[in-house]
Structure 1
Amino acid sequence: MSSFTPRPQEGRIPPFRRRLARTSALALMAGTLPWLPTVAYGQQDAADAKAPVVALPAIDVDKDFVPGGMSVPPVDGHLGRQAIADRRTGTPDTAALLSGLPGMALQGAGGISSLPVIRGLGDDRVLTLVNNVPITASCPNHMNPALSYIAPGDVGAIDVLAGVTPVSRGGDNIGGTIAVTTPDPQFAGEGQGLAVHGDASTAFRSVNNGTTVGGHLSAATDRYVVSYAGSWSRGDDYDRGGDGKSVNSTLFETQSHALSLAARVGEDGVLEVRGGVQVTPYEGFANQRMDMTDNRGTSVDAHYKAGFAWGRLDATAYWQHVRHAMNFLADKGGYDDGGMPMNTRSNADGYTVKADIPLSAADTLRVGNEFHHYALDDWWPPVGGMMAMMMGPNTFHTINGGTRDRLGTYVEWERTWGGGWSSLAGLRNDTVWTGTGTVSGYNASYAKDAAAFNARDRSRTDANVDATAELRYAVGDQATVDLGYARKSRSPNLYERYAWSTGNMASSMITWNGDGNFYVGNPDLKPEVANTVSTSLSWHAATAADGEGATPPPAWEVRLTPYYSYIEDYISQRRLGTVVSNGVSFAKVMFANRDARTYGVDLSGRATVWRDADLGVLGVSGSLGWVRGQTVSDDDGLYHMMPLNGRIGVEHTLGGWHGAVDVQMVDAKTKVDHLLNEPTTPGYTLVNLRGSYSWGNIRVDVAIENLMDKAYALPLGGIDYGDWQAGNHTTPLGSLPGPGRSFNAGLTVAF
């Protein structure tokens, strides 16, 4: 990887904005202080405030049912420790854990880098948080998304919030929020002394000879916890269904390590400092021209949470550094002759501060402030040999000293009105500043584009306003009706605004859709603004506390959620021309604002067939999702809309045994984005089996995925560029095939 020293930047964000952000946080906290003496909890709440903090068990919607008001449950999908343990043997990709949740889909990418899609909106349109920290993909192909930095075995819980999301759960998104958290620190009991515990696990997947090894170790007293988490995964090119041929450019290797120190602060506070590194030496991308040849991420964050007489405080500060490199792996020709190196370096730092303040037994006020600074350099070193005339003699600067800073503040009010009614209303402001320095190309052929870009004002300021209003009515004890409206905004990312070259080679490197098209940035892009309405109708069987005071899951439950969103200034494209390569036509486009709409419905449910002391528990579950996305002007389809899809599952639990049969059904994809030449895909049905058995501290997992070895194409997988390139362009360029039959096995030993 070549070195690079960025030039002085005209487009950098002025330093006073950082001071403004820090001052805003202090002002928010200071403004809250006058409330503190006047807020009364009541006698029971005061007693609770003095109780020590303990780690609560994660709630899994498949296992536990929690009745309550607006805040319980506050999510559209949840995975707890048990559900994650059931799924992680089959994948090293944390995003893949979300598969099957209502409204969720996955956009195909690398072996650990799938991009989550919520109700037709994905990638940067979805806010992804890992331990309250936003992580930005630092790559023109978005090869290193947020969830690629945490291994499935290190995840404690995942919450998914779609569409109408509370302003307290994040801004700068229009699709929803995915919040991933690691397990809470486990302190020893008072007087217990030093408690040491951990686990080691391994998994194997036959479809790509994939292997995962991971482990956790912690040492705790009643005041301190030191913990380590580590994981290593690799896989060859996976075999596709049907004929079993390998799909080129799907291999990968990655490892991650994290060390944390947690300490009790006072009677009801916990401070945790966590540092981590992630190294991915290679990862193939079958639907991209490039592959990842190195990715190194380093992060440090500190998280403090505590209860006080006035309420609860939660604060996080963080720093991240990423070095990323792309080139060609062997399937696409390798880089022994230099290939086409593309390097990225980014730094991010920021904070979040939020407070929950009960104003009365019926009212809760939430206030928060956050700041996120992101700096990016993207450069392509020159190459020698036969390619020197095209990619030399100078360095190509794609993003030179790019910055994207965001300052957000919100206020939210939740109230229980009585008579079954409750409400949630919030208002949020996110100011986003973007800018970049001057750029240059490999040679004089890029001079015209570079001069025009350098001559213009490149600094932009977006003042985004979000609002959410939700109303819930509980119809007796067995049904609830939720009605919500949200205005959500997202500012363009740095590549959407500042990818400046219209040249074929340079613009072909700017794409995260996996479509092979050519993209040019647009500094005049406006922020997207989505106005979303949705309603959820939920029914469940009557429940009652058992003899120990716990509420078991209802015998059945059903949830129906229709939704509609009108998106002003949706960041789409306008066509600049057509590029023909080896007989295949690709679109050359510039990012452009167009109004769009998305609408659809999610249906999910579960039921217990029987619950018997001798036969165990047998349950069935299912989900159905349908979404459409269109541009308003011409009703053309939006890219990466999942076709009608459903899932039916049967689960059985008896003692240490847990088994499941899962059937996934996907309709043909015929509604496509014609502007981007999106391919259609046929429908398919997959059958998956999995089972696990636990003896004390030992757990064994087995699974067969794609039991019938079905040949199918991934609806959101994009094009099969890797096989087309490896075949020297002699085969048709089709859709990316999905994996074939895989025999999976896993072993976990806890101590």
Structure 2
Amino acid sequence: MKCKKMHLICIPTLLSLLVSNTVLAEHLKLDDIEVISEENSPLNKDYATTAGDAAKLLENEMGVSLYRAGGVSSLPVIHGLADDRIRIQVDGMDLISSCANHMNPALSYIDPFNVQTIKVYSGITPVSVGGDSIAGTILMLSKQPEFAMEGGLLTHATINSFYKSNNDAHGVNLSASVANAHAYLQYTGTTVEANNYRAGGAFKAAGIAANGRGYLGADEVGSSYYHSDNHAFVLGFHQENHLFELMLGLQEIPYQGFTNQRMDMTNNESQQYRFKYEGHYDWGLLKASAYHQRTRHSMNFGDDKQFFYGTAPGMPMETEGVTTGVSVEAETSISSRDLLRMGAEYQRYRLDDWWPASGSGMMMGPNVFWNINNGKRDHFDVFAELDSQWNQQWFTQVGIRASQLNSDAGNVQGYNNTTVGMAGYGAAANAFNALDHSKSDHNVDVTMLARYTPDHNSSVEAGYAMKTRAPNLYERYTWANTNTMVLNMNNWIGDGNGYVGNINLKPETAHTLSITGEWHDAQKEDWQIKVEPYFTYITDYIDAVSCASVGKTCASRTDGFVNLSLDNQTAQLYGIDMRARKRLSDGQGLGRFTLTSALSYTRGRNLTTDDDLYQIMPFNLTLGVEHAYSAWKT
């Protein structure tokens, strides 16, 4: 167990109760239905460390780093590329962050306690799991169905609790299921709550957090508190080689502070509905799914930030996002050597982002401010992928994906219709409303991969991928450029600057070369070394630029930050990941000891401006010793 904050006592399990009852049956898991990749990493669920943040389960994945936002809203980074540049699926659902500050990313909608399988594609991503992304893909799956033998009944219940002394983080995880041979019902629920955490020592003067607010200690990190509740209900049916599954997911985050933003989350409610089908036929495998998510998101100044500005009591910001998706995928063996995989996907996304008037002055009134009005982002994809096992040593995979993406947004208005001065929004709104907001992007992804396995102790994999990503709605359709306060509120990058979108942005295209070498003992138990160098060249890379360079006049400021817009540029990234492990003892006496190490280096440059890219993890090396004795693991 690792406790990453000083002055921290980790008590990962105050209560752990497992009840399992099988009547007239043995436990049966449907291996012919449950399809899980061989390359999934084992999960080390340290609940006290993750504390409700599923993204932290990725900390030990090769090529992945995290940058912290809220307590349950960390954002993963794959080889220096983050956020919407990564395709993230949660139980087969492509969830979208409906927030100008990206406070509700996809991984915030699943609790780590409920995660069974994680698959990370950080190198060459197959087209069957890629699309509208240039960094890679993260697949996170919850617990899979378990059925009883014919005539039997299988019941299961788990309670887990934890407490952390640093910020009084505490939570309860519940899981219960009942199943016979043909149907199952499962419930998982989690609640987690935490106060502000404390640093290893004083880093500022103690005092009030802001005018009219409470006291913060010299070592207390303001706006790091949070509370999150998640519930999931799953009903499934199994008939011979067919599985049908219905899921209902519910989330409420009544508050979550953000240390890197001027706003805090004051509520986030979401409902997710999913249908999944998997069936085996004589000709192969058929998978289909449909999902729908509705999110209501609210922001304002939290307890550690100034609330009153003149006559304005806070700055309420409201968002509603609705996502609907369907997908169909089939795979069939067309020969003893070749497996063909084909599929189609459709996603419909709608976004409204509005800020109610606040106070009696002109700064935040009298109108409702429409940041994005009736935003639309729809895409339809088709793909084909061919796996070929030429012999025991050689495997190849080639694939192509074609995407049609359409986006649009309605007319907007500011807090007022005044056309002059910093507090006037009329001129910027009129200029935006006069434009044609409809955009269509035609994207193509291609992957080619070859794997050579000369013996049981080694393998080498090399490949090329061309990946594309279209701009998100905030990058294209945020429009207000005359008021720094409003520019600050559109900060999905999380760097403290102010941003305004650019409707003329083009999709990004990334060309990636990657080589992976792996060496290990025949059983992969004694020792293992894995090395992966990579290189990515990105055309039309979307990066921050001065407002003037894209024909916008933004408000000036002297507070150390800048107001920026976006434009297409050119960038490149390269680096290397390495992981190694060696067993030091065989488990006799004091138990089994294993030495582990992980090394990562990424270099990212904007070739247009000759600047470093943002949010690049520095060179890092991690060494560890794992110990296992009977049922104990440390």
Work out whether 1:535 is the aligned partner of 2:515: yes
Aligned to 1:292, which of 265, 272, 283? 265
Work out whether 1:159 is the aligned partner of 2:119: yes
Work out whether 1:418 is the aligned partner of 2:391: yes
Once residues 593 and 298 of structure 1 are traced to their aligned partners in structure 2, the CA distance between those partners, rounded to angstroms, is 35
Residue matched to 1:649: 624
Aligned to 2:165, which of 206, 214, 225? 206
- Which letter does structure 2 place at the counterpart of 1:246? E
Residue matched to 2:610: 635
Once residues 616 and 189 of structure 1 are traced to their aligned partners in structure 2, the CA distance between those partners, rounded to angstroms, is 37
Residue matched to 2:406: 433
Q: Is the 8 A contact 2:188 2:232 kept in 1?
A: yes
Deviation (angstroms), 1:476: 2.1
Once residues 580 and 448 of structure 1 are traced to their aligned partners in structure 2, the CA distance between those partners, rounded to angstroms, is 17
Once residues 113 and 86 of structure 1 are traced to their aligned partners in structure 2, the CA distance between those partners, rounded to angstroms, is 17
Once residues 54 and 417 of structure 1 are traced to their aligned partners in structure 2, the CA distance between those partners, rounded to angstroms, is 26
CA offsets per residue over residues 180-221 of structure 1, 9 Å max, x none? 0011111112221x3221101111112211011110111111
Which deviates further from its counterpart, 213-222 or 609-618?
A: 609-618
Deviation (angstroms), 1:170: 2.3
Work out whether 1:339 is the aligned partner of 2:299: no
SS at match of 2:304: helix
TM-score, scaled to structure 1:
0.75
Residue matched to 1:186: 146
Once residues 453 and 92 of structure 1 are traced to their aligned partners in structure 2, the CA distance between those partners, rounded to angstroms, is 40
Once residues 406 and 35 of structure 2 are traced to their aligned partners in structure 1, the CA distance between those partners, rounded to angstroms, is 38
Aligned to 1:242, which of 171, 194, 201? 201
Once residues 470 and 347 of structure 1 are traced to their aligned partners in structure 2, the CA distance between those partners, rounded to angstroms, is 36
Once residues 235 and 35 of structure 2 are traced to their aligned partners in structure 1, the CA distance between those partners, rounded to angstroms, is 21
Identify if the C-alpha distance between structure 1 residues 90 and 494 changes in structure 2 by more than 3 Å, giving closer, same or farther. Answer: closer
Aligned to 1:570, which of 531, 541, 558? 541
Once residues 425 and 305 of structure 2 are traced to their aligned partners in structure 1, the CA distance between those partners, rounded to angstroms, is 26
Work out whether 1:384 is the aligned partner of 2:359: yes
- Which letter does structure 2 place at the counterpart of 1:585? G
Residue matched to 1:465: 444
Q: Is the 8 A contact 1:345 1:377 kept in 2?
A: yes
Q: Which runs of 5+ in 1 are unaligned?
A: 1-50, 60-70, 544-552, 660-751
Q: Is the 8 A contact 2:452 2:460 kept in 1?
A: yes
Aligned to 1:513, which of 458, 476, 493? 493
Residue matched to 1:620: 595
SS at match of 1:573: strand
Deviation (angstroms), 1:579: 6.5
- Which letter does structure 2 place at the counterpart of 1:271? F
Work out whether 1:132 is the aligned partner of 2:92: yes
Q: Is the 8 A contact 1:404 1:432 kept in 2?
A: yes
SS at match of 1:496: helix
Residue matched to 2:559: 584
Once residues 185 and 57 of structure 1 are traced to their aligned partners in structure 2, the CA distance between those partners, rounded to angstroms, is 8
Work out whether 1:486 is the aligned partner of 2:461: no
Once residues 123 and 306 of structure 2 are traced to their aligned partners in structure 1, the CA distance between those partners, rounded to angstroms, is 42
Q: Is the 8 A contact 2:519 2:530 kept in 1?
A: yes
Q: Is the 8 A contact 2:406 2:439 kept in 1?
A: yes
SS at match of 2:166: helix
Identify if the C-alpha distance between structure 1 residues 335 and 329 changes in structure 2 by more than 3 Å, giving closer, same or farther. Answer: farther
Residue matched to 1:104: 64
Q: CA RMSD in A?
A: 1.9
Once residues 313 and 264 of structure 2 are traced to their aligned partners in structure 1, the CA distance between those partners, rounded to angstroms, is 14
Once residues 580 and 47 of structure 2 are traced to their aligned partners in structure 1, the CA distance between those partners, rounded to angstroms, is 19
Deviation (angstroms), 1:88: 5.6
Q: Is the 8 A contact 2:70 2:224 kept in 1?
A: yes
Aligned to 1:449, which of 408, 412, 428? 428
Q: Is the 8 A contact 2:32 2:241 kept in 1?
A: no
Q: Is the 8 A contact 2:285 2:331 kept in 1?
A: yes
Once residues 236 and 308 of structure 2 are traced to their aligned partners in structure 1, the CA distance between those partners, rounded to angstroms, is 45
Deviation (angstroms), 1:614: 3.9
- Which letter does structure 2 place at the counterpart of 1:287? N
Once residues 96 and 89 of structure 1 are traced to their aligned partners in structure 2, the CA distance between those partners, rounded to angstroms, is 8
- Which letter does structure 2 place at the counterpart of 1:200? I
Q: Is the 8 A contact 2:244 2:278 kept in 1?
A: yes
CA offsets per residue over residues 42-70 of structure 1, 9 Å max, x none? xxxxxxxxx993489998xxxxxxxxxxx
Superposition pairs of residues 245-394 of structure 1, within 5 angstroms: 245-264=219-238, 266-334=239-307, 338-385=313-360, 388-394=361-367
Once residues 295 and 441 of structure 1 are traced to their aligned partners in structure 2, the CA distance between those partners, rounded to angstroms, is 24
Work out whether 1:146 is the aligned partner of 2:125: no
| Structure with the bigger percentage of helix | 1
SS at match of 1:408: strand
CA offsets per residue over residues 515-573 of structure 1, 9 Å max, x none? 11011100100000000001011111133xxxxxxxxx331110111000000000002
Q: Is the 8 A contact 1:401 1:436 kept in 2?
A: yes
Q: Which runs of 5+ in 2 are unaligned?
A: 1-27, 203-217, 419-423, 549-553
Q: Is the 8 A contact 1:263 1:272 kept in 2?
A: yes
Q: Is the 8 A contact 1:163 1:174 kept in 2?
A: no
Aligned to 1:408, which of 381, 404, 415? 381
Identify if the C-alpha distance between structure 1 residues 230 and 363 changes in structure 2 by more than 3 Å, giving closer, same or farther. Answer: same
SS at match of 2:562: strand
Residue matched to 2:578: 603
Once residues 579 and 525 of structure 1 are traced to their aligned partners in structure 2, the CA distance between those partners, rounded to angstroms, is 22
- Which letter does structure 2 place at the counterpart of 1:467? V
Deviation (angstroms), 1:450: 0.8
Once residues 32 and 141 of structure 2 are traced to their aligned partners in structure 1, the CA distance between those partners, rounded to angstroms, is 13
- Which letter does structure 1 place at the counterpart of 2:149? G
- Which letter does structure 2 place at the counterpart of 1:248? G
Aligned length: 578
- Which letter does structure 1 place at the counterpart of 2:59? S
Residue matched to 2:174: 215
CA offsets per residue over residues 294-344 of structure 1, 9 Å max, x none? 100011001111111111111110010000000001100247963000000
Once residues 508 and 215 of structure 1 are traced to their aligned partners in structure 2, the CA distance between those partners, rounded to angstroms, is 39
Residue matched to 1:499: 478
Identity %: 40
SS at match of 1:508: helix
Deviation (angstroms), 1:291: 0.4
Once residues 198 and 470 of structure 2 are traced to their aligned partners in structure 1, the CA distance between those partners, rounded to angstroms, is 39
Once residues 48 and 34 of structure 2 are traced to their aligned partners in structure 1, the CA distance between those partners, rounded to angstroms, is 19
